[in-house]
Each structure stands twice: as C-alpha cells, then as structure tokens.
Structure 1
Amino acid sequence: MATRRNSHYRPFPSLIACVVLLLHYSSAQFDHFKLVLTWPHSFCLVYPGKCHRTPLPLNFTIHGLWPDKQKGKTSPCKKYPVSPLNDKNLELRLEESWPDLRRDSKLGFSTIFWKEQWDKHGSCAWPLYNYEKYFLKALEFKDKFDVLGHLVQDSLGPGTSPTVSRNLVNKTISQATTGIPILKCPSNYLTEVVICFKPTGVVVVACPQPPKDPCPNENVNFP
C-alpha cells in the first residue's frame, strides 16, 4: 500500500528559506538604521529661510530613518510603487512626530515630506519594510527613548543655560540608549541627534562616527 505523504510539513522548509533569503538580502543592502532627530528651534535658527512651521514642536521630531552600512555605501534606493497611507491614526502620529518643518501646519499632513524620505531612504529597506511598516518602525524607534526628557533630567535641557556641554549631552544619550549617538551642530547649534538601531527589533548599536566631527565644539547652543 502506498505511503500517504503528510502535506502539512511541506511549506515550512520553503517558508524558512524565504525568511533567510529576505534577511540576507536586507543585510546586504544595509546593516543598521539611523534615526535622525531634529531639534526644531535650532533648525529654524540655523535655516531661517526654510523654517515655516507654526507653532514649532516642543520636542525632537523625526527628520528621517535612514538605512546605512558600517562599511561602504548603500546601493541607490530603487523606487517602488506605494499606496497612500489610509490610516488616519497613523497620519496623526506621524504629523506629531515627523512633521515637515519647512511647511506650515495649516496646510495639512506632511505627506510630501514623508514620500520624499521614503523615496530617498526608506525604499532601501524594501522588502524588509514596506511603505507603511517603514513609518511604523520609525515611530517605534522614536518612542523607545525620550531623548528630551533625559536631557532635561540631567539639567541639559533647551534654554537651561547659554550653552550646554556636547560631551555631557553625548554621555546622557549614550547612557539612556546604551548606544553611541552622532550629534550634529551646524553653526554651533545642537540641531540633530542620530541614534542607530539594528535593522530588526529595537536594539541600539553604536553609530559609526563620520570622519569629520559634525559637532566639534565642547560648548554648543541648545535654545
């Protein structure tokens, strides 16, 4: 009598293979994410001609979530067809955490800015993250740490004193995140904080430091 094959187990090897190939493909494209956070008041002082947001957010906002590699450069991102976000709750969360500071809030959601960031950076994370999952991952990363709260707790909040110590800011963020951030201080204003994560999960890693320090002075303005 012929032995009856158990079909229940057949899909699993192929499923596992697909997952492995997906992770391998993604890791070949990038090995970490850079979550780039902007301090709106510094941005508007450094780039007054670009700042049109009213009122200004009182917390760090997302500039972008950028796939990157420790060594070498990521391949140019391919453009993939995307569907508009149809989740109003997600759009509201993005507008709060990821607003376009170059655009007045009265003009509605920052959908053009989000699409720009996806086309320039986010699509490099495909197929590990599609359009919607990319934004959800950015919000997940940002919500993991209250960067401003930690700085305020250590008496390094905005306007606390004429300047703050770059080294102390770096130390506070490092202790809060267990990673090594990048600080960007154009015109000596603390304007951006970069926190690096593994592509999956919310595990923080040390950011690869750029050859030229983007925040070279010890005392920086943090309005």
Structure 2
Amino acid sequence: MMEIMEQPKYARVAKSFVTEDRSQTMFLLRMVEARRDKLRLEVVDDLRSITRKHGFTPALVGGIYYLQGRLAKLVASSLVTGLFWLNLLFIVIAWIVARSIRGAIAMIATLTLVPLCMLGGIGWLHVPMDVISAPATNVCIGIAIDSMIHLVFGVRRAQRDGKKGWPAWIAAREEQWRGIVYSDVIFAAGFAIFVLSNFPPTQRFGLVVLAGLIVDILANLFVLPLLGGAPLRRSDREK
C-alpha cells in the first residue's frame, strides 16, 4: 500500500507522512478547543504520554497548536518577570521620592494594588491574555507611577509649608487631583481608540487599559493618602 501511494499518479502522498526507511511517520491531529479545560502544553504532554504508552517514541511535536501553547507560556512568564523587576525598581524610586518608611510602603502597596486589580479582574472575567493585550498592565503601572510621584511631591511641598501628617496629604490631593484625573482621562481617550478596532486582541488591550486607568485614579486619590497619611491612633485623630 505504501509503495502504491508513493507512485507519481497519487502525487507521492505517502512520502509526506512516512520516511523512506519506514521508521518514522507523521500524524496530523485536529484539536478541538471548545471544551478544553487544560493548558495547551499539558494537552501536548498527554499526547506524548499516550504515544509512549503504545510503544512509540514521539520525535517532534509541532504545529500552530503547540506554538500557541508555547507563546501563552512565554507571555505569562514575561508578564510575571516584568512586573517583578518593575516593582523591585519602584521600591528604590518610592524611597527616594517619599523619604519616609511609611510613605514608601504606602506607594509600594498602592502600586501593587493596580496590577492585582487588573489581573484579578481579567482572571475573574476570563479575559484572554495575548501578546497584544498583555502590555496593558505595564502601561497602567507607568501612568500610576507618574501620578503617584506628583502627589508625593505635593505632600513634601505641603510639609515645607508647615503641614504635617494627614493635613499635608489632604493639601497635596487638593492640589494634584485635577492633574491626575485630567491626565488619566486624556490617556483613556487615546487608548479608547483601540476599543473601536475589529481585531479582538486590540479591543481587549484598549478595554484593559481603560479599566486600569480607573484603578489608577482611585488608588492614587484615595488609597495612597489613606495608607500614607491617615492617623493610626485615636490620639492622632483627635489632634
């Protein structure tokens, strides 16, 4: 049968699937994605196990399905690695800008809240993450850092004017809230263009950025002042 299928009148179709020494063959599988509950690479590993179970040795696994699995793994690892190094760098920046332990901790905690809310919402809503939409988190973190630095500088100016603690944060927020809100709205208007795209990954990128900018505004105007300047003891509140 193999010799017959190697004849020219059959377009030598057998040579596309079996080597000349008959030691290796190629199987083409059509993967059904509708009811998949495992990662693609885990499915590929299951296929390898089934092949070995029946006495065969898988020499090579390829195709779009496997490449999608590899790409998804790389996107996830790069996202985690990028956020880790970005937060590590921000620890130094927060200490330089805040010049106090509580202020630095407040900035770090507030910044950590941004990716946690974004990635948590993405996972809760089962929004796919791909190469295009994954950088949305880093974009929002950069914008949040900019607003955060301006707010903390406003606190330091208020402290130089004689205000301490919570009143200094209130004064800084009254000074900076318009700039923070207006700049984020401008960024949101720019990235909202991607929502109008017909390409789903680009749409997701725009929507994730818009959601992240809302988190940025709330975190910088409410969470950061509370963590950085709210009275911790009753005696401080009475003062």
Same fold (TM over 0.5): no
Q: Larger relative CO (CA 8 A, sep 6+): 1 or 2?
A: 1
TM-score norm. by structure 1 comes to 0.30
- In proportion to residue count, which structure has more helix? 2
Question: Which one has a bigger Cα radius of gyration?
Answer: 2
